Structure 1
Amino acid sequence: MKTHYLYLFLLLISLSFSCRTDEDVSDETEVVEDEDADVVVDTEEYPDWTEATHGDDADLDYSVVFAQDTVLRFDIVIDSDDWSDMRSDLSSNYSNITSSDYTPVWVPCSFTFDSTEWYHVGIRYKGNSSLQTAYAAGNGKLSFKLDFDEFEDDYPSLKNQRFYGFKQLNLNNNYDDESLMREKVAADLFRDFGVPASQTTFCVIYIDHGNGPQYFGVYTLVEEVDDTVIETQFDDGGSGNLYKPDGDAASFANGTYDTDELEKKTNEDENDYSDVKSLYTIINSSDRTNDTEQWKSDLEGVFDVDHFLKWLAANTVIQNWDTYGNMTHNYFLYNDSTTNQLTWIPWDNNEAFQSGKQSSALSFSMNEVSSSWPLIKYLINIDEYEEIYEGYLYQFVNEVFASSEMSTTYSSYYNLLKDYAYAEESGYTYLESDSDFDSAVSTLKSHAKTRNSAVTSYLN
């Protein structure tokens, strides 16, 4: 009988403890399981975390992240010691900024949008000559890259944190662009013309690195190519090789092939450069003059020639001079595994819509282009390809870059940005006065009219 009572007593204690434990957990903390990452997120420590906003399984929400009818606001808080590390790293590597070997240091930050916080987000400076020039001038309005799970090893419960599905994003500072809109307009025009390019939108950022929030001005939020552009704009979902050429090898001129300058952004562990090697070999092959039809067939087997000619036409019309044909950078090549062709993706378009600085934008005829730029020179020398290119010139100005439509676009963006542009502060702006912004937008409208007339004159 005593044994029976003892058993009942122990059973009651066990049930009581079980009920109390469940109640305590319910009262104190809600946990959210990320099944894909196999982690548990403590919403007491990270109260703003939800699967839809922060989780790896969330769908890419372009309507929120790249909203087109508003200017987004981002508030960033960086610990003062981490900010010092960023500045010290930049200072000590000043002479290496234009080198592809230099990657600025990552530090964690708190990132807030629409009253929701993302935790321990990686942030670093980005850019090459624009970063070096702006930093040397003492301008605080520098470009940044964000990585929402850069510090997941330090905070494993936040593994695979995302921003409405996006892992990485770029905050481009609209360097040397008094209109503040060239980066966005160029990318939109390319996509409207069927050329894969990043989604973009306007935003303003405030950064607190120990002395309270500082307005850094109007930025362009730019989608990361190796994160979501190739995933959403190609049929193979981004499984192919992506390259970001930079340096002499980016010209594909004879004698320049160098895998160190053909940086792989995907499939890095696979030491396979056979696709870009084939393009280099074929474009410089003697078959170009000895057996032109065979050369064309071989080239089209590894390179989307039609797509490149479409990009070349649009790029030439808008006078985007800081890229291939003048500069050995600012483009990606993606090998779409459904076609096994390398496809051209434009990048970094803030210098577009002007005749050029360090060198002039290309003419429509391309007569000045030498064999140092074989992807242009050798293609335009083929009558069939030249005819396709000229057809795209006509199509671009009539269907995408019509002057009346561009005037409407520029006016809309002017009204959207005006108050934010006027509010930019000394030390964090490339504007010397409000009228600089007004004048720059007027210049863009005139540029569209001039270029439309120039195309018509050239084709006639």
Structure 2
Amino acid sequence: MLKTRYVAATIGLLIMIFIAVLFFLPNLQVEKATKGNTYTESVFDQSKVTTVDITLADEDLDSILDNPSEKEIVNADVTIDGETVKNVGFRTKGNLSLNSVVQMGDSDRYSWKIDFDYYQEDQDLHGLKKLALNNNYSDPTYMREYLSYELMDKMGIATPGHSYMYVTINGKEWGLYLGVEAIEETFLNTNFTDGTGDLYYPDGTGSDLKWISEDIGDYTGLNLKTNDNSDQSAMIKLLDSINNGGNLEEVLDVDEMLRYFAANTALVNLDHYQGDKKHNYYLYEENGVFSILPWDYNMSFGGYSGGGGRRAGASDQETADQNDGTAVEGNDDDTKQDDKEVLGWAPNMNGGGMMDMSSNFMNESNINFSIIEPVSGTALEERPLLNALLSNDEYREKYYDYLNDIATDFFAEENMTAMTTEISTLITPYVKKDPTKFYTMDEYTEATSGKETLVDFAVQRAESILAQLSGDLVVEAETESSMGGGAPTIGDDANAGHEQQPNMGGGENGAVMQPPDMDRGGNGAPPGIDGNMSQKGAGNSSSSKDTIILSSVLLLLLIGAMAFAHFFKRRGKKG
């Protein structure tokens, strides 16, 4: 018969194995997900400006430049920091920015897309399959998109790799770009435990996520990017839950969504789901649960609502001619907008650059963008994903917590100054020699170190967020009916003669959504990041079914072993 000490030792060993597996399993899963992919460090090295040299046939380049809106894919060789990948797909990319550059007439500074696996399915660069080169359109600082991705990353959102890259094409300098990892299968495998779920890029009919019917074919703008044979039943369940009532936690990574919308609201990024275009985001489903992924932030920090201006050196007549351009490809089927608005053109009263952000991005509407009803050019009820989240008291409080964290940490003057100074030191020599830049060096210098900078925006935006959280500032949302209004009221008399704060449309018991009377010193940090917003590791974006199953099996084994020990002990006593 077994001795008691052997049984006790066995039980102790099982307990140790159980604890060790629970502790180390998440890290093992991350290693599995990212094995063989080193591009996040080797390609997107943020400590330097990476060189990207693109070589293609002269006739292919001429064809692209003659018809950039066609997005023709041609064969090219790409050398990144001395490492060459041959036979890749190369084309223009973008919608608003692409067509706006086309309208300039004298600029070829397009954004570009490189598909390393377009002609050879198994080809990549350290695991990277696709690379976007963004032209920093409408941003004299060159920093808005970079900083936005940094915030998303710090908030624990699965964020594409990004770093600055200096581009040449056939030996000709094309200028300083922001390199961004494309959101596709490689990104999913790197950032999620499974990585094989349905990925959507909503842009068009249904991209507002409003309920149409149970037929997925009616949502022509949802744009499934992976798993062509998926029945998309998970998407229908999501749409049903957020529009018609359901358990959100069954269909959403709720906490991740709250962090995302808090960051997007703080950034006043309105060329997005929260604005009138309802695009520039991804949805990823894994095991029936959806996450939201960030994309396209060159018009964050209030850049979209601020409109723009004419390009440097353009005459009044040229600007008027540009304003007669055609509507942007890819806009929602059932909306027709003024071409000038779509293309982003507006007179620059200062006579400065193409899109003089510094002349209007710090207007009152941007600085005091509502955190209570955070939409512009639409109503919250028209954005059911956000509406469903903020209609829940518990979720709304978490959303407020994350806004508070951003306002007091990432947007703190010391932090923003340090980041922008470091970036400026890195990129300024490349901006100086950039032959295709949209702005003059004076405009770049003014935007990065003048009277109104991204640091100033962040500081004032943080003050507004905290004032709205405390109730000292009440702001009307910029809905379609209130565009141009929405002036905030401040102080003890804020509510005197002022409209009642908006009902969130579906809140519990029809309650009116109110900002909390706050003393927010608590830790609102999301899972995986500390109170200082340190980076969350890859693979933690959603819970793993495998982890749950394995943990359950181990727990059952442990319980069984303990039961055996108890039975053995009782038999020992009887003997």
Report the count of equivalent residues: 366
Kindly state the Cα deviation for residue 89 of structure 1 after the two structures are TM-superposed. Answer: 4.1
| Aligned positions of 1:45-444 closer than 5 A | 58-90=36-68, 93=70, 104-138=71-105, 139-152=107-120, 160-208=122-170, 213-236=171-194, 238-255=195-212, 258-268=218-228, 270-285=229-244, 288=245, 295=246, 298-326=247-275, 327-337=277-287, 340-354=288-302, 356-357=305-306, 362-366=369-373, 369-425=379-435, 428-431=436-439, 433-442=440-449, 443-444=453-454
How far apart are the structure 1 equivalents of 2:302 and 2:374? 19
Comparing 137-146 with 378-387, greater Cα deviation is found at: 378-387
Q: What letter is aligned with 2:294?
A: P
Conserved? CA contact 1:193–1:400, under 8 Å? no
RCO comparison, higher one (Cα < 8 Å, 6+): 2
Deviations 1:175-232 (A, max 9, x none): 1111112111111110111111111000110111xxxx22111100101111432111
How far apart are the structure 2 equivalents of 1:308 and 1:192? 14
How far apart are the structure 2 equivalents of 1:162 and 1:226? 13
Q: Which consecutive residues of structure 2, in runs of 5 or more, have no partner in the other structure?
A: 1-34, 308-340, 342-364, 471-575
How far apart are the structure 2 equivalents of 1:311 and 1:439? 30
Conserved? CA contact 1:188–1:199, under 8 Å? no
Conserved? CA contact 1:284–1:374, under 8 Å? yes
How far apart are the structure 1 equivalents of 2:151 and 2:231? 33
How far apart are the structure 2 equivalents of 1:164 and 1:219? 20
How far apart are the structure 1 equivalents of 2:46 and 2:94? 25
How far apart are the structure 1 equivalents of 2:37 and 2:467? 47
How far apart are the structure 2 equivalents of 1:386 and 1:110? 49
Conserved? CA contact 2:253–2:291, under 8 Å? yes
3-state DSSP of counterpart to 2:85? strand
Q: What letter is aligned with 1:110?
A: D
Q: Which consecutive residues of structure 1, in runs of 5 or more, have no partner in the other structure?
A: 1-56, 94-103, 153-158, 289-294
Kindly state the Cα deviation for residue 58 of structure 1 after the two structures are TM-superposed. Answer: 4.9
Conserved? CA contact 1:248–1:328, under 8 Å? no
Comparing 112-121 with 72-81, greater Cα deviation is found at: 112-121
Q: What letter is aligned with 2:142?
A: L
How far apart are the structure 2 equivalents of 1:399 and 1:363? 20
2:314 is aligned to none
**Structure with the largest fraction of strand:** 1
* Identity value in percent: 31
3-state DSSP of counterpart to 2:128? coil
**Structure 1 length as normaliser, TM-score?**
0.75
Q: What letter is aligned with 1:430?
A: F
How far apart are the structure 2 equivalents of 1:309 and 1:59? 29
3-state DSSP of counterpart to 2:380? coil
Deviations 1:96-120 (A, max 9, x none): xxxxxxxx22101121223332212
3-state DSSP of counterpart to 1:264? coil
How far apart are the structure 2 equivalents of 1:62 and 1:444? 26
Conserved? CA contact 1:403–1:452, under 8 Å? no
How far apart are the structure 2 equivalents of 1:135 and 1:129? 10
3-state DSSP of counterpart to 2:206? helix
How far apart are the structure 2 equivalents of 1:89 and 1:58? 38
Deviations 1:132-154 (A, max 9, x none): 111111321111111112123xx
Conserved? CA contact 2:205–2:220, under 8 Å? no
Conserved? CA contact 2:205–2:222, under 8 Å? no
Distance 1:59 1:370, change over 3 A: closer
